[in-house]
């Protein structure tokens, strides 16, 4: 039995009927489609690589202790690996609609928190898998590691035989409480012992500390800038989910000629998308921004593949009111440089660790309140997850595309995830079904944003631009 981390518990507690908190993906393969039972057998054989996939969440009444993971004595692989057909003619429109319905459904909390949907009937003799994994199990980077474990790295990979598994007995209520008491005593002591080293490791000089302090002031100033209103508001239980793509090579070409990082370029394209969306809605006014929560992985090299959340976040103002694409890119580059220079992600990570002092009951109430209280501080979430740059396979079939899904939260009606696979960036955009009927304007704007930056980069002499950063 293993206790959830503070951040994992926060993701678990914040979920409610209108806010399912799972991450997901749609991955498309070349045909022909395999037999459903072959896919079930494959997942069963791979489960020893991901033990968490056979564990359930155990809680204590009144949530006085952090939830724990325990083996599911009644685990049934056929419940988790499901089978569906895309409505005819099996094009992108039908696939997106079906995926939106599947992503909108909450995972069953009485079972291991994941599902894999085998979809047949896609045009051009293709098929797909939709994966759903609760956010309390894994962050985006961890999910990428999981994909590389479950999928094969070549078309002729040897088939693994399913291995028998004997689950541990379910923990008794007494054991859950006793473990919780021990955890409550040792957790704060460990934090007190580790936090000084944590701070010193990340803020290694007085200059770092001074920069961190200045960064807090800068964050306060960013929060004071007026933001777009229609992106915030109540959400319902239904979702729409669409995607668009861009070539990695073209994004890198923009970075090489105009400067900044790949992430800066992607944020600039998203900024153009929101600019077009607000223009369409008649909300684009001077000085307005779209404030985005930008998750940042804080995984160390030794933590890759570990199923837990190792993520922090910063707030970035997307300068949608700026008409000049080069100036938008420059503003984003300066802002992201400042956030990194002033260690703002460190502050968020430290705050998360400090929350370990709080009783889980307070953590649960605080997590829900933070998501449910109407507030204009954040209008969207934009996260960029690097995927494998080598082809993946299942049962000898090559994966040809991968599209990411991230949830939306209470009062935040649109979120964007970016995933790279081979030479493609895929933008997966999630929205409340009723609040964003014009979501196609955002995707078209993202494509326009990249096209105009590519044109500017082609016209501009590389020698006269800032040096790109790795």
Selecting among 22, 80, 134, 135, the annotated active-site residue is 135
**Residue 135 among the catalytic residues:** yes
pLDDT of residue 67: 87
Residue 355 pLDDT class (50, 70, 90 cuts): very low
Picking from 112, 37, 44, the residue whose alpha carbon sits closest to that of residue 73 is 112
What mean pLDDT is reported for the chain? 81
Helix axes 344-354, 6-14, angle to 10 degrees: 80
Give the pLDDT score at 157.
87
Question: Which has more pLDDT, 85 or 12?
Answer: 85
Pairwise pLDDT comparison (146 vs 80), residue with the higher score: 80
Say which residue, 214 or 249, is predicted with more confidence.
249
More confident residue, 55 or 186: 55
Q: What is the pLDDT of residue 7?
A: 76
Say if residues 35 and 429 touch (Cβ distance below 8 Å): no
CA-CA distance, 98 to 86, in Å (whole number)? 7
In this structure, how many other beta carbons lie within 10 angstroms of the beta carbon of residue 300?
9
Percent of the chain with pLDDT over 70: 71
pTM: 0.82
Q: What is the pLDDT of residue 293?
A: 86
DSSP 97-160: HHHHHHHHSPPPTTS-SEEEEEEEEETTTEEEEEEEEETTT--HHHHHHHHHHHSBSSTTPPPP
Out of 71-80, 211-220, 422-431, 437-446, least confident range: 211-220
Mean pLDDT over 5-31 rounds to 89
Domains in the chain, ordered, with CATH?
A: 2-174 (3.30.559.10), 207-385+411-464 (3.30.559.30)
Question: If you average pLDDT over residues 331-346, what whole number do you get?
Answer: 76
Q: What is the pLDDT of residue 57?
A: 94
- Whether pLDDT at 79 is above 90: yes
**Spatial separation of the C-alpha atoms in residues 28 and 242, rounded to whole Å:** 15
Structural contact between residues 147 and 392, judged by C-beta atoms closer than 8 angstroms: yes
The predicted pLDDT at position 297 comes to: 55
The 3-state DSSP class for residue 201 equals helix
pLDDT-derived band at 387, boundaries 50, 70, 90? confident
Residue located via tokens 């030479």: 423
Q: What is the mean pLDDT of residues 47-61?
A: 87
pLDDT in tens, 264-317: 999 999 999 999 999 999 999 999 999 998 876 554 445 444 444 445 578 889
The string of pLDDT tens digits covering residues 179-232 is: 555 555 555 555 555 555 555 555 555 444 444 445 445 555 555 565 678 999
Over 70: is that where the pLDDT of 236 sits? Answer: yes
- Percentage of residues of the chain with pLDDT beyond 90: 52
- Where do runs of H (alpha helix) occur along 155-247? 173-202, 206-224
Residue 470, pLDDT above cutoff 60: no
Give the pLDDT score at 105: 97
Q: What is the mean pLDDT of residues 403-421?
A: 93
Q: Give me the pLDDT at residue 4, please.
A: 83
DSSP output for 61-75:
GGG-S--EEEE-TT-
């Amino acid at each position: 039995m293993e206790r959830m981390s503070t951040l994992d518990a926060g993701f678990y507690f914040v979920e409610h009927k209108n806010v399912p908190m799972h991450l997901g993906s749609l991955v498309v393969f070349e045909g022909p489609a395999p037999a459903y039972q072959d896919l079930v057998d494959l997942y069963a054989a791979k489960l020893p690589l991901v033990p968490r996939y056979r564990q359930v969440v155990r809680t204590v009444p009144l949530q006085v202790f952090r939830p724990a993971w325990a083996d599911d004595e009644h685990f049934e692989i056929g419940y988790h690996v499901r089978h569906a057909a895309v409505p005819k003619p099996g094009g992108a429109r039908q696939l997106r609609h079906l995926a939106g319905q599947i992503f909108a459904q909450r995972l069953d909390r009485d079972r291991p928190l994941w599902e894999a949907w085998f979809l047949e009937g896609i045009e051009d003799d293709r098929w797909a898998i939709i994966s759903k994994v609760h956010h309390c199990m894994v962050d985006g980077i961890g999910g990428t590691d999981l994909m590389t474990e479950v999928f094969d790295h070549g078309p002729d990979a040897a088939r693994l035989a399913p291995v028998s598994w004997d689950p541990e007995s379910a923990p008794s209520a007494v054991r859950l409480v006793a473990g919780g008491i021990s955890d409550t005593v040792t957790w704060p002591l460990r934090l007190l012992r580790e936090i000084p080293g944590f701070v010193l490791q990340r803020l290694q000089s007085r200059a770092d500390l001074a920069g961190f302090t200045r960064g807090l002031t800068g964050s306060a100033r960013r929060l004071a800038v007026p933001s777009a209103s229609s992106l915030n508001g109540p959400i319902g239980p239904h979702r729409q989910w669409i995607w668009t793509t861009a070539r990695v090579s073209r994004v890198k070409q923009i970075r090489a000629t105009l400067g900044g990082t790949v992430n800066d370029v992607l944020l600039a394209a998203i900024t153009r998308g929101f600019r077009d969306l607000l223009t369409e809605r008649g909300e684009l006014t001077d000085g307005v921004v779209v404030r985005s929560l930008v998750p940042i992985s804080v995984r160390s090299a030794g933590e890759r593949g570990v199923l837990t959340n190792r993520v922090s976040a910063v707030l970035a103002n997307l300068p949608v009111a700026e008409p000049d694409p080069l100036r938008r890119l420059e503003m984003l580059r300066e802002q992201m440089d400042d956030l990194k220079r002033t260690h703002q992600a460190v502050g968020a990570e430290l705050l998360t660790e400090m929350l370990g002092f709080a009783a889980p009951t307070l953590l649960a109430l605080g997590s829900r309140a933070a998501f449910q209280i109407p507030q204009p501080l954040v209008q969207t979430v934009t996260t960029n997850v690097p995927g494998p740059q080598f082809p993946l396979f299942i049962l000898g079939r090559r994966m040809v595309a991968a599209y990411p899904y991230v949830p939306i939260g209470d009062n935040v009606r649109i979120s964007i995830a970016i995933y790279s696979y081979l030479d493609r960036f895929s933008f997966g955009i999630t929205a409340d079904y009723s609040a964003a009927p014009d979501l196609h304007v955002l995707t078209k704007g993202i494509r326009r944003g990249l096209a105009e930056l590519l044109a500017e980069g082609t016209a501009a002499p590389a020698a006269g631009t800032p040096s790109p950063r790795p």
